[in-house]
Amino acid sequence: MQGHLATPTPADAVIQPAGITALEDHEFDERSIISQVGSAEHAEPSAAAKKRPADAPPRRARKRRRAALSPASALCRKIDEALRKFAPNIGRPYCVVTCASDVMTILEYAHVVSGETSSKVLEKLEWAWNMGYGTLDLHTPKNIHPLSVDVHCYYNRTTDSKHDGWFWLPADQNTVLKMYQCYVGRSYSRPVPAEYPNVRRNPREFQFYDKKKSFEYRVVPFRAMEASWTIRRPAIPTAAFDSTNRVIQYYYPFKNLPSVSLHVPPHFVICDTARKLRGVYGGDYRNIRESVDLKSEFPGLEPAEEITLLAVAGIYDAWMNAVPSDEWRSGALPDSDAARGHSSNSGGVSPSDLGGDGGAGDIDPGVSGQPQQGVDGGRESSLAPGDSASCRDVADESCEEGAADEEEEWEDPEYGAWLQQWVEDVWEATHGAMTSSPGSQGSLVGAPTDGKAAGSIDSGKPMAGSV
């Protein structure tokens, strides 16, 4: 059984979505609502819209998002389906670290790359990953996995703004080193370059990356977890607790904890792991490589795994030093993913299309943008931690822009048109009968017959502003 720790719930913990607020006996002025809806169509452009280049392609109207990631959502079901083949004996949602099913523990669906990632960081990732501007969706199933509550708390735990829980480390060192050579510009055995080459390349183009359905990772804890509770796993993962099934306890530094198979590709893991390393040890990759004693800080790592960890930090450092071009921001790069539209769910360029296996000798640096000024331009705010794709078609719409200011999030022409039509219908229903038959008792069209007061509305449609 799981030992639950008294740890504060993280920011992106599961919260049940609020129900739809039914219209009761609220007094409101329908004509003023119509006036407000009409005036919104002719409102001044938002500050973010004014900053966009005049010749930039128009943005799609954003669909409204629910405030929480519900375990019953279509997104979570898609994640559970992807993980089911890794633990067929369980046959239901489970924590990927402890193998405890949802009937044995409480599960939460955790983002690997945090939903609070700033727009500036997202822009650099989109550039380095050869994506179109504004197309990175952090709510793709490939960036989310289920964890039990206590494990999830440690995954996101911070003290004095520094992570002191645990992180994932890719087990495939070969792929990590090839990514390092591509983005850093030289092999790992050579000194760190003074400047990075500003390379653009889709991470899925590396050897066998795009065709793989699972990736292996290790759980690596920071030293602060030395006094933490053990990680317990059943010897044979099952859907429910079985007293005859031996439970194995793994102690810090969890060196003997089996590696975990995930559907999450390495470039998402690299982002999260390197971000945590930078937050704990400060500085950039050079500082971590030269000054951090990995044997002392991570006693459970083998020498080869230490190299993988440093390579992960180097790749992320190259990404964070990327300099996107203004031409790319405006969508004027026809040979990049900006012209095709990119989704982290969709198929990518296979290694055979590159004329090789994606190895060190075959690396094509991709499209390199010239350094430009004004890196801080573009999207205004970060993604909210509660944002999710649970109300969308996750298979088809993962290209939707991730971060945007709140004003743009509410600019939905379809919703505005629906609201205006609804208000007009309410006005006609509540006033049409009285104006057509003077002297009547104010009978309503479709008036209730169950004793409700005349004039009360029980339509089941959401009031303006409700979700």
pLDDT in tens, 415-424: 567 677 777 7
What is the b/e burial string over 167-179, where b = at least 16 CB atoms within 10 angstroms of the residue's CB? bbbbbbbebbbbb
Torsion of CA 190, 192, 193, 194, to 10 degrees: -150
pTM for this structure? 0.61
Task: Establish if 261 belongs to a structural domain.
Answer: yes
Pair 193, 182: CB distance under 8 Å: no
CB atoms within 10 A of CB 194: 6
Task: Establish if 327 belongs to a structural domain.
Answer: yes
Pair 391, 67: CB distance under 8 Å: no
Task: Establish if 165 belongs to a structural domain.
Answer: yes
pLDDT for the residue numbered 142? 93
Pair 90, 162: CB distance under 8 Å: no
Domain count for the chain, please give it.
1
Pairing verdict, β 162-163 and 144-148 = unpaired
Give residue 355's domain range: 66-411
Query: DSSP string spanning 37-57?
Result: HHHHTTPPPPHHHHHS-TTSP
Pair 118, 382: CB distance under 8 Å: yes
pLDDT for the residue numbered 67? 38
- Residue numbers in the chain where pLDDT is lower than 70: 1-72, 207-210, 333-416, 418, 431-467
SS3 content of the chain, % helix, strand, coil (to 5): 35, 10, 60
pLDDT for the residue numbered 206? 83
Task: Establish if 459 belongs to a structural domain.
Answer: no
What is the b/e burial string over 333-349, where b = at least 16 CB atoms within 10 angstroms of the residue's CB? beebbbeeebbbbbebe
Token representation of residue 161: 């703004």
DSSP 58: P
Percent of the chain with pLDDT over 70: 57
Task: Establish if 185 belongs to a structural domain.
Answer: yes
The one-letter amino acid code at 5 reads L
Task: Establish if 45 belongs to a structural domain.
Answer: no
Nearest to 279 by CA among 162, 123, 134, 143: 162
Task: Establish if 156 belongs to a structural domain.
Answer: yes
CB atoms within 10 A of CB 215: 22
- The angle at the Cα of 38, spanning 36 to 41, to the nearest 5 degrees, equals 110
